[in-house]
Amino acid sequence: MRERPPVKCIMPPVRRFHLAFGMNVLVPGTGLIALGRVWLGIAVAAWFALGAEVAACGALIAPASIPRWIAWATALLATAAWLVGQGLLMTHVRTLRDPNLPDDLKALRDLAEQALARGDLAAARLSLRVALSIDDSDVPTRILWARLLSKKGSRSKARRAWLEAQQLDNQAAFATEIRQALEQL
């Protein structure tokens, strides 16, 4: 019986777009958080929550103490946050579903590897930052990031990066390298 070559996983199994869309409809920003855009998601969720809270207080809880125009203005702000949150999530999902994404990430990783090989840590950092901003759950990119931090000499950051890579490496493709790096730190 012929053995099949390993299947190249374009998107990690943690990508549950339907769940992210459902979360984002209830509270905008939470879908972004679920898909790895944590700080952007927190900012949108906070924007929405603050606007919705003041609007709810002005309309339902204490209408006599909050002027009507403030309640309406904050309701509009909350609505704007909701719309922006949906748009940002759709844009991020489109990026993650792009069939060229693996090739784009590979090109950025190749640039980073070349920069690491010639000792240009700043150029490697720049390439990896761009790759991680696109998809921060890409395991090979996380491995290169951990290698970069190990070369820079920041032990605590490198250790954290290796542990994050280990957590994402579901198929244990880099298990040996991760284990060895963690032992050396």
156 and 81 co-located in one domain:
no
Overall domain count for the chain: 2
105 and 127 co-located in one domain:
yes
Residues 132-180 have pLDDT tens digits of 988 888 899 999 999 999 998 888 999 999 999 999 888 888 989 999 9
Q: Residue 36 phi/psi, 5° resolution?
A: 100, -5
Q: What is the Cα–Cα distance from 29 to 40, expressed in whole angstroms? A: 7
Q: Tell which of 97, 114, 137 closes a domain.
A: 97
88 and 149 co-located in one domain:
no
Q: What is the Cα–Cα distance from 117 to 50, expressed in whole angstroms? A: 48
- Least reliable range by pLDDT among 21-25, 114-118, 150-154: 150-154
Q: Is position 4 within any domain?
A: no
136 and 70 co-located in one domain:
no
Q: How is residue 1 annotated by DSSP? A: -
76 and 146 co-located in one domain:
no
What does pLDDT average to over the chain? 87
Q: Is position 2 within any domain?
A: no
pLDDT for the residue numbered 172: 86
Regarding pTM above 0.85, the answer is no
CATH value at residue 156: 1.25.40.10
pLDDT for the residue numbered 63: 83
108 and 173 co-located in one domain:
yes
Q: Is the pLDDT of residue 11 over 80?
A: no
Domain, as residue range, for 23: 17-97
Cβ–Cβ < 8 Å for 34, 19: yes
Q: Is position 9 within any domain?
A: no
Q: Is the pLDDT of residue 23 over 70?
A: yes
Q: Tell which of 77, 97, 117 closes a domain.
A: 97
pLDDT for the residue numbered 15: 57
What's the average model confidence in pLDDT over 14-33?
86
91 and 108 co-located in one domain:
no
Q: Is the pLDDT of residue 121 over 60?
A: yes
Q: Is position 3 within any domain?
A: no
Kindly indicate the confidence band of residue 17, based on its pLDDT and cuts at 50, 70 and 90.
confident
Q: Tell which of 66, 97, 128 closes a domain.
A: 97
Distances (CA, A) of 144 to 10, 113, 147, 179, 182: 18, 8, 5, 15, 14
83 and 118 co-located in one domain:
no
